[in-house]
Amino acid sequence: MAQESVDVPPLQYYRHGRFKVAGGVLPGAVTAYQTYGDPNNPCIVFPTCYGAKLAQGIHLIGENRALDPRKYFIVTFALFCNGESSSPSNTPPPYNGVYFPLTNYEDNIRAQYAVLTKQLGVKRVFCALGFSMGGQQAYHWAVVYPDFVDRIVVICSAARTSPHSKWLVGPKNALRSAKDYNDGHYTMQPHHAIRAFNRVCVGWAYGQTWWRQKLYLYDGLYPSLETFIREVWETPSLLHWDANDMLSLLQTWQDGDASQVRDGGDLEQCLRAIKAKVLLLPCKTDLYFCPEDSQNEVKYLQYGQLFVIDSVWGHIAGGAANPADVEFVTARILEFLT
């Protein structure tokens, strides 16, 4: 059956007023979001991942796709620090730039809950779904509001950012050490810093076999690895991202741990308490969120299913890069939502 593309709706903004976050307070917090479909249909929450704006990462939305706007009311949310919701780049003094307070996943979920219940009139979430940082938000939905969410889908993600992912200090330090970052007090975007950040990240994003097979050439679309990195990784960041936003969002990722919400860091207890049905879709070659994390988690879930994406595309298998992986993920989601 043919998949239909979806028209991207306009951005909407919910203004929370004074909003407490992990690192303090935002006097005028804003959550950006978009909606697809009829509000009378079952609600699906689909938050952004790292590096995504709301208009990106929507490959699962559309007629005959995993998330069909004819069947569901789909709400996509922008993470704090993604440049659309409250972020270092768009917050006025005294919380602009490097002075922006730390935000965590729980802050984001509380903000999203406010939009759903106060603005959109949603009484219950049929499914919270996400890729990468979006998957960590899905887990947090099931923990922060256990009686509000029926099911969650976690794609290439985990309930807790693993010790292995402390590698995130690598790209962070590469950005901070660049000559034009100026300790975050730059007057124009620090291109050297952003390029350095991306060149560290790209090496982790794909499976090692993917690199060995030179799949970065995309059947001749890119004549070299250098061209691929510049066009696929550097260009979007240089055009659309702010360096302080990138660092703040990275800290949210690095600190991610659903067991800290109410279980004092006891991940097993946290997972056992989840009432929602859970679908885990790790990739066997993911270096960001290794599949072993999902295999450990599913042992403690009351209603957990796990299917491994058999792909060399690594973490990116959970995104929109490889049609075969998208097809696999779509099929598993459709089965789970039925």
Is 107 marked active-site? no
DSSP label at residue 21: E
84, 94, 110, 31: CA torsion to nearest 10: -20
Tell me the pairing of strands 125-131 and 277-281.
unpaired
Catalytic residue among 86, 87, 132, 237: 132
Greatest CA separation found in the chain? 53
Token couple for 117: 């219940």
**Nearest by Cα to 66 from 302, 318, 315:** 318
Amino acid sitting at position 125: V
Is 294 marked active-site? no
The Cβ of residue 43 has, within 10 Å, a number of other Cβ atoms equal to 24
Token couple for 130: 């996400």
Catalytic residue among 107, 242, 286, 325: 286
Catalytic residue among 87, 293, 315, 325: 315
Is 286 marked active-site? yes
C-alpha atoms less than 13 angstroms from C-alpha of 168 in its C-beta half-sphere:
20
Catalytic residues: 132, 286, 315
